[in-house]
């Protein structure tokens, strides 16, 4: 019989050979594969029939041209992506990201992570991700709308409520989902609500979707702290980023009696020892679409540090909610030295492998993104359910379901970690539990 460690090494070697230069994708795949040995030792059938290789190869990768005209009539060409990674558990599901640095490696890693995250929700959704290397910063409404329309004109042939259901991610919120949905509806002549999630409330959206990711991260963090005999109340936190996930995480932490002393954007860090004022932050970021310098200008006691590092700000709880690989081994050491007791990832893969190693060695409670930030996609799946039933649930109803889904994800990760003699290791728990669910479904469906 092939030993699990050999099977994993062979797959890692094949992945390196087949995906040269795709460092984010190789990192994400490596992080999952290296945790699977104890599971594959017990259930070797999950590594048979080329299952690991099949699981690491996207079912479909789409790259397309997105031409559009700016307000002066000048033509621009961007690159659009959709990686449909795995549909063993349900239709492809995952967000769209508009970011000038987006490339295939990033979309592939995000789609790969999404596959296991979605599996952990226990809902019937496969994994995908997409977007474009388009920079919405500084663009007018008309320009972003025309871009969304051009993007959807090509993407729509790959979508469908039973096929592939995108949502938002960095740079794509309810406004962009509206323009994407409008173009889909216009070309297909179908009011197919379930083809996109994150919609507005009066055109098929779900109450609670907007805040779900940030709310879910905080629910997970609370449950993890309780499990370790601790609690969040009265503690200090830093939350990186200031987009949708960060904003709602900060709001939820405030409700728990946690003081969030810093947040950030790509220009720098704002430190506000009185606690970040969520209403001001919302106005600056969501209404004015401005930078954090505008927040600091509205809060005389807040300090703006251009180019500063948020992880140097002392805190007990750290929530990376900005982007991948934003928290390095050096940052993790600074956090530990400053007394940080728990980290919960709101972004996808924000901590580098070195950082995860530092937290593990220090005994810092660590909630990996694929478990902790699953609340957003979970409420997307609830939105799909409502669309399928042509129903609309109340906010209280959605929030209750989200809370029980986050508790269930936490408990499954904790239980799986214990089952494999790694108590408290949520990275192992999430990867093994997510992989097991996808792999068992794939193995039932035959060699496809
Ligand atoms: N982009 C979000 C994520 O990373 C949400 C995806 C969705 O709702 O489909 O999970």
Q: What's the 3-state SS for 173-196?
A: CHHHHHHHHHHHHHHHCCCCHHHC
If you search the block for the tokens 């987006």, which residue do you land on?
Answer: 102
Given the CA of residue 373, which atom of ligand 1 is nearest to it?
10
The answer to whether the CB of 380 is under 6 A from ligand 1 is yes
If you search the block for the tokens 């109803």, which residue do you land on?
Answer: 397
* Spatial separation of the C-alpha atoms in residues 386 and 207, rounded to whole Å: 11
The answer to whether the CB of 352 is under 6 A from ligand 1 is no
The answer to whether the CB of 384 is under 6 A from ligand 1 is no
Question: Strand ranges (DSSP E) for 280-388?
Answer: 303-306, 317-320, 342-344, 365-367
* Spatial separation of the C-alpha atoms in residues 378 and 46, rounded to whole Å: 26
* Spatial separation of the C-alpha atoms in residues 209 and 231, rounded to whole Å: 26
* Spatial separation of the C-alpha atoms in residues 267 and 439, rounded to whole Å: 42
**What residue spans in the chain does CATH classification 3.40.50.720 cover?**
210-372
Instruction: Evaluate whether 67 touches 76 at the Cβ level (below 8 Å).
Output: yes
What is the structure's pLDDT at 3? Answer: 75
* Spatial separation of the C-alpha atoms in residues 397 and 328, rounded to whole Å: 39
Instruction: Evaluate whether 281 touches 295 at the Cβ level (below 8 Å).
Output: yes
What is the structure's pLDDT at 56? Answer: 98
**What residue spans in the chain does CATH classification 3.40.50.10860 cover?**
60-192
List of the chain residues with pLDDT < 50: none
* Spatial separation of the C-alpha atoms in residues 119 and 28, rounded to whole Å: 16
SS3 label, residue 65:
strand
Query: Closest Cα to residue 174, out of 201, 193, 138?
Result: 201
Q: Which of 114, 205, 217, 246 to mutate to test the pocket of ligand 1 (most atoms within 8 A of CB)?
A: 114
- Verify whether residue 333 is a known catalytic residue: no
* Spatial separation of the C-alpha atoms in residues 127 and 117, rounded to whole Å: 8
Give residue-wise pLDDT tens across range 76-103.
999 999 999 999 999 999 999 999 999 9
SS3 label, residue 305:
strand
The answer to whether the CB of 93 is under 6 A from ligand 1 is yes
* Spatial separation of the C-alpha atoms in residues 397 and 62, rounded to whole Å: 37
Q: Which of 87, 95, 119, 130 to mutate to test the pocket of ligand 1 (most atoms within 8 A of CB)?
A: 95
CATH for 210-372? 3.40.50.720
- Determine the Cα angle at 379 with ends 88 and 340, to 5°: 100
SS3 label, residue 172:
strand
Cα-to-centroid distance, 1 and ligand 1 (Å): 39
The answer to whether the CB of 377 is under 6 A from ligand 1 is yes
What is the structure's pLDDT at 4? Answer: 83
User: Strand pairing of 75-86 and 127-132?
Assistant: antiparallel
What is the structure's pLDDT at 103? Answer: 98
If you search the block for the tokens 């919609």, which residue do you land on?
Answer: 199
* Spatial separation of the C-alpha atoms in residues 354 and 85, rounded to whole Å: 26
Report which protein residue has its CA nearest ligand 1's atom 8.
377
Given the CA of residue 169, which atom of ligand 1 is nearest to it?
1
What is the structure's pLDDT at 5? Answer: 84
In words, the CATH class of domain 60-192 is alpha beta
DSSP for 379-441, please give it.
HHHHHHHHHHHT----HHHHHHHHHHHHHHHHHHHHHHHHHTT-TT-HHHHHHHHHHHHHHHH
Instruction: Evaluate whether 62 touches 84 at the Cβ level (below 8 Å).
Output: yes
Q: What are phi and psi of 313, to 5 degrees?
A: -85, 120
Give residue-wise pLDDT tens across range 245-289.
999 999 999 999 999 999 999 999 999 999 999 999 999 999 999
Instruction: Evaluate whether 78 touches 134 at the Cβ level (below 8 Å).
Output: yes
Question: What are the CA-CA distances from residue 49 to residues 17, 55, 346, 442 (Å)?
Answer: 20, 11, 35, 10
Say which of 93, 129, 199, 370 is annotated catalytic.
129
Instruction: Evaluate whether 153 touches 66 at the Cβ level (below 8 Å).
Output: no
The answer to whether the CB of 86 is under 6 A from ligand 1 is no
What is the structure's pLDDT at 2? Answer: 61
């Amino acid at each position: 019989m092939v030993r699990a460690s050999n099977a994993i090494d062979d797959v890692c070697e094949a992945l390196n050979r087949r995906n040269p230069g795709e460092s984010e994708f190789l990192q994400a795949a490596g992080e999952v594969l290296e945790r699977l040995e104890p599971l594959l030792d017990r259930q070797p059938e999950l590594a048979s029939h080329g299952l690991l290789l099949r699981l690491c190869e996207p079912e479909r990768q789409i790259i397309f041209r997105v031409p559009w005209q700016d307000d002066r009539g000048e033509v621009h060409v961007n690159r659009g992506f959709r990686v449909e990674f795995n549909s063993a558990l349900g239709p492809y599901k995952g967000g769209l990201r508009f970011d000038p640095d987006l490339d295939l490696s990033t979309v592939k890693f995000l789609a790969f992570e999404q596959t296991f995250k979605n599996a952990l929700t226990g809902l019937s959704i496969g994994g995908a991700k997409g977007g474009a290397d388009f920079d919405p910063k500084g663009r007018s409404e008309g320009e972003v709308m025309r871009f969304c329309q051009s993007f959807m004109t090509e993407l729509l042939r790959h979508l469908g409520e039973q096929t592939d259901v995108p949502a938002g991610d960095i740079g794509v919120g309810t406004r962009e989902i509206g323009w994407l949905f409008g173009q889909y509806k216009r070309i297909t002549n179908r009011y197919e609500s379930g083809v996109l999630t994150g919609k507005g409330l009066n055109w098929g959206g779900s109450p609670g979707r907007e805040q779900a990711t940030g709310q879910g991260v905080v629910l997970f963090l609370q449950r993890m702290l309780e499990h370790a005999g601790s609690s969040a109340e009265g503690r200090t936190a830093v939350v990186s980023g200031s987009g949708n996930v960060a904003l709602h995480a900060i709001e939820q932490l405030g409700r728990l009696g946690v003081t969030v002393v810093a947040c950030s954007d790509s220009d720098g860090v704002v430190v506000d020892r009185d606690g970040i004022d969520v209403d001001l932050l919302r106005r600056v970021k969501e209404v004015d679409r401005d930078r954090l310098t505008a927040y600091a200008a509205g809060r005389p006691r807040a300090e703006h540090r251009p180019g500063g590092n948020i992880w140097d700000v002392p805190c007990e709880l750290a929530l990376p909610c900005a982007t991948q690989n934003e928290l390095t081994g050096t940052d993790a050491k600074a956090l530990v030295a400053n007394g940080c007791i728990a980290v919960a990832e709101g972004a996808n893969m924000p901590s580098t492998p070195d950082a995860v190693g530092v937290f593990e060695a220090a005994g810092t409670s660590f909630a990996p993104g694929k478990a902790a930030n699953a609340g957003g996609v979970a409420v997307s799946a609830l939105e799909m359910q409502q669309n399928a039933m042509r129903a609309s649930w109340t906010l209280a109803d959605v929030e209750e379901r989200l809370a029980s889904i986050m508790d269930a994800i936490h408990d499954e990760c904790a239980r799986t970690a214990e089952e494999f003699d790694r108590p408290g290791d949520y990275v192992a728990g999430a990867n093994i539990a997510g992989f097991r669910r996808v792999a068992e479904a794939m193995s039932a469906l035959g060699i496809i």
